[in-house]
Amino acid sequence: MYRNLTIRQKQIVWAWAFLAIPVLFYTVIRFYPTGNAILISFQDWNLLGDRTWAGLENYEKLWNDPVFWKVFQNTFVYLLLGTPISLVLSFVIAYHLDKLRFMHGFLRMLYFLPFMTSAVAMAWVWRWFYQDVPIGLFNNILASFGIPQIKFLQSTTNALPAVLAPAVWAGLGFQVIIFMAGLRAIPQSYYEAAKIDGVGWFTVLTQITIPLLRPTIVFIVVFSSIGFLRIFDHVFNMTTNNPGGPLNATKPLVLMIYDTAFNGFDMGYAAAQTVVLFTILLIVSLIQLRLLRSN
């Protein structure tokens, strides 16, 4: 039977033979659980008993849950603060690092180091930095100058930026490296031409560097926005005693899902939240892909 196939058909058979493993893998560990999660979001299930149909009940509960809206808002605050700040910071660092020769490798290593550090260890160290006297590093410094204490994590307004700061710092190294690769990829001849024309550095930056970095910028924006929408480990580890607190001021959607599922054992409700997160991620990614394509 195989012998009677044309070469083209044989190629297709082989292609599918090789593809079968990843396809199977994706079906079993990606598509099936995704479908199952969507199914559970219409059911009631506590992990132990039978699943029972709940219709749209979980979604109604979500719509009427003030905590959900607070969490929804937090998730976007993480995104809208985190992405631009890390983008600008990493670009500024990469731009200057690129021009620097002295200790270039060492400095680059210093920026990259946080990216390699375990998020859990980092979050705990920062958590201790933020404590009040007598143990908090920042507040001890303030106190030694006689400045009043700042409540970092024990405040509904300061807590979210305080949690976000190490998360931005951790991702910085990776973005700096990508930006530097992007900067190196811009042909030197453009800069030489600009020099001959006697153009100032600002014009060079806005007319040559940034436009030519566009694909790099789009990639970093897509990458870091997905990261900030899924933020969990920093928040969870810095607020373990009171996850997402105080008063849900730092709680992102992923943490709410975790809490509903594995502390409340309300799998249906948690699945409904997951479907919402999935939809948000899908929309954000589609918008960004569209931007990428129009380039």
Partner 1 sequence: MTSHLKGLVLAGLTSSAALFASAAQAVEIEYWQYFFDARVEAMETLIANFQEANPDITVTMTHFPYADYRTKVAAAIPAGEGPDVVQLFYGWLNDYVEAELIQPLPADTFPASMVDEEFFPMVQAMKDGDNYWALPTAVRSLALFYNTRLFEEAGIESPPETLDELVETAAKLTKRDGAGNITQVGITAGMTAQDHHWWREGLIRQFGGEPYTDDYQTVNYNSDAGRKALDFYTGLFTGDNPVSAIGFMDEPQAAFKAGRAGMHIDGSFRIGSLNGTRGLKWGVTELPANADGTRSNYSSYWVNAITTKAEGEKYDAAVKFMQYITSDEAMQIWLDTVGELPAKPSVGMTEENAQNETFGPFIRGLEYANTTKFANESGQRQLMVEMVERIQLEGMDPAESLAVAAEAEQKLLDDYYKD
Q: Interface residues with partner 1 (CB under 8 A)?
A: 44, 46-50, 127-128, 131-135, 143, 146, 148-149, 153-156, 241-242, 245-247, 259, 262-265
Give the nearer residue to partner 1 in terms of CB position, either 20 or 133.
133
Task: Using the minimum distance from each CB to partner 1, give the nearer residue, 117 or 131.
Answer: 131
CB of 292 to partner 1, least distance (A): 39
Residue 128 beta carbon to partner 1: minimum distance, rounded to whole angstroms: 7
- Closest approach, Cβ 49 to partner 1, in A, equals 4
Least spacing, CB of residue 256 vs partner 1, in Å:
12
Residue nearer to partner 1 on the CB measure, 131 or 285: 131
What is the residue-wise DSSP string for the chain?
Answer: -GGGS-HHHHHHHHHHHHHHHHHHHHIIIIIHHHHHHHHHTTEE--SSS--EE-TTHHHHHHHT-HHHHHHHHHHHHHHHHHHHHHHHHHHHHHHHHHH--TTHHHHHHHHHHHHHS-HHHHHHHHHHHTSPTTT-HHHHHHHHTTPPP--SSSSTTTHHHHHHHHHHHHHHHHHHHHHHHHHHHS-HHHHHHHHHHT--HHHIIIIIIHHHTHHHHHHHHHHHHHHHHT--HHHHHHTTTSTT-STTSS--HHHHHHHHHHTS--HHHHHHHHHHHHHHHHHHHHHHHHHHHT-
63 versus 128: smaller Cβ distance to partner 1: 128
Complex with partner 1: residue 152 or 228, whichever CB lies closer: 152
By C-beta, is 42 or 259 nearer to partner 1?
259
**Closest distance of CB 134 from partner 1, Å:** 5
Q: Whole-number minimum distance, CB 74 to partner 1, in Å? A: 15
